[in-house]
Chain A
Amino acid sequence: MIAGPIRQLIKEFQRLPGVGEKTAFRLVMHVLESPQPQAQALADALVEIKQRIRPCSRCFQMTEEEVCAICASPKRDSSVICVVEDQASLMAIERARQFYGIYHVLGGRVSPMEGVGPGDLRIAELLKRIEGEGVKEVVVATNPNVEGEATALYLKRALEPYDVEITRIARGIPMGGDLEYSDALTLGRAFEGRMKY
């Protein structure tokens, strides 16, 4: 028989994405064998994240404040909004340090197969921002895959009546990629997205 608290923690870990029973058991054993303060720190961090983190009231990225640091920064150009699917995309773009506008986190992508329609994303919230915030350009930065492309298409359709420039990040050969190994689809898109040099 496995002790009740162990079984309970296995069950909780298994709720995490990509964690199966074996991994959950390994994590539980790790927690059991680690010093008390370390386990306490993990528990505190879990409680704290739920109590203190919430979506930014403007861009919907996760933040401690009512308005996130990016939206609040006077150094960011608030006339350019970059629309991303999720927090992970936002963080990847921030790491690249190439974009100085602000963001809008959609909260997913259109996926009829998973029952996610355009109405399930924060598109209405985006349109409201465009009406009220003096936005000049919307950069669509959904993922370069089939569902990301379709989401971009819905966005384009929703944005067209507004007086904003709609741009799409270039798609094509990833850095570190190799023309020889690129497939026809990627190469085709790379040519479509070619720029003046």
Chain B
Amino acid sequence: MRTSTTKAFVLRMIPYRDADMVCTLLTRTEGKISAMARGARRSKRRFGGALDYFCLVEAELRPSKSGMASLTSVNLISSYSRITEDVERFTAASHIVEVSRLASKEGDPSPQPFDLLQASLEALQGGGDPKSLVRIFQIKTVAHLGYALAGGHCTGCGGPIGDGETHLSDLSLVCSSCAPRMSKTITQGAVKTLEAAQRIPYSRMSTLSITPTLDQQLGPLVQNALTRALGATPNSLDIF
């Protein structure tokens, strides 16, 4: 079968047999792809140091009729190597890659997961605040999965939500009368930040910083929403 080339990020690498690697890649136009990189752990010639996390590569793939595609070579387009020069940036980038893997689907032509991952890594590489970037990434991911956290109106009755009356119920904001008992309220400042994080273009993510006080409110709510939207708890979640 014919080979094809595509831009991709590595989402996961699992050693297989003596020298091979099963790679999960995120492509821009075909979503997530699993591919076998034969000899990847031995041959530096075909894969160089480019088959790794936080690298944008041009991947050459050969589909297989019977099963997993073969990754025949990779060419480095850009490496976000400054990420591994700092523990906080590395941890943030690892979380972003793991969540990208859980949130993306095979055969999905939507470019959003790829673009969001690329923009997040670029922002981390460029020195953006890791904590804020992780939170914005999480909020945007929850929105991509179909659960926009903030819309300005109560998702229960459709009415406007008064100041100090906003509750987060499951994955949406509701007013006091629609809120289930024991649900938490969040401040208008936090709602505004949620909205801003959802709206801000990828290229400007590092310009939005979330203060520690706001993040104390948003953190648990967003993480809970993320876990529900993904239907899984990321291994790296408890770090944030």
Spell out A's residues near B (CB within 8 Å): 17-18, 111-115, 117, 144-147, 149-150, 153-154, 157, 174, 177-178, 181-186, 188-189
Contact = CB atoms under 8 A, between A and B. Distances in A.
A153 B44 CA distance: 24
A174 to B, nearest CB: 5
A146 B48 contact: no
Contacts of B87: 150, 153-154, 157
B131 to A, nearest CB: 14
B85 A183 contact: no
A177 B52 contact: no
Contacts, number: 75
A157 B86 CA distance: 10
B140 interface: no
A153 B84 contact: yes
B237 to A, nearest CB: 9
Contacts of B76: 183-185
A185 B49 contact: yes
Given A113-B94, A150-B90, A153-B90, A144 B49 contact: yes
Contacts of B54: 146
Interface in B100-142: 101
B97 interface: yes
Interface string B13-25: 0011100000000
A130 B235 CA distance: 31
Contacts of A181: 44-45, 48
A185 B45 contact: no
A111 to B, nearest CB: 7
For the residues of B in contact with A, the DSSP-based class is mixed
Interface string B225-240: 0000000001110010
Given A146-B52, A146-B84, A183-B75, 8 more contacts: A17-B15, A112-B91, A112-B98, A113-B12, A113-B235, A150-B84, A153-B87, A178-B45
A189 B84 CA distance: 13
B44 A115 contact: no
A135 B235 CA distance: 35
A184 B76 CA distance: 7
Contacts of B12: 113
Contacts of B239: 112, 117
A89 to B, nearest CB: 13
Contacts of B53: 146-147
A111 B101 CA distance: 15
B53 to A, nearest CB: 5
B50 A115 contact: no
B212 to A, nearest CB: 21
Nearest to A175: B44
A145 B48 contact: no
B84 A149 contact: yes
Nearest to B79: A185
A117 B53 CA distance: 17
Contacts of A177: 44-45
A186 B74 CA distance: 14
A67 B95 CA distance: 39
B235 A112 contact: yes
Contact of B55 (A182, A185, A189): A185
A189 B48 contact: no
Contacts of A113: 12, 94-95, 97-98, 101, 234-236
B81 interface: yes
Nearest to B101: A113
A25 to B, nearest CB: 16
Contacts of A157: 87
Nearest to B50: A183
A184 B12 CA distance: 22
Contacts of A184: 76, 79
A186 B52 contact: no
Contacts of B236: 112-113, 115
Closest 4 CB pairs of A and B: A183-B48, A115-B235, A112-B94, A112-B236
Contacts of B48: 181-183, 185-186
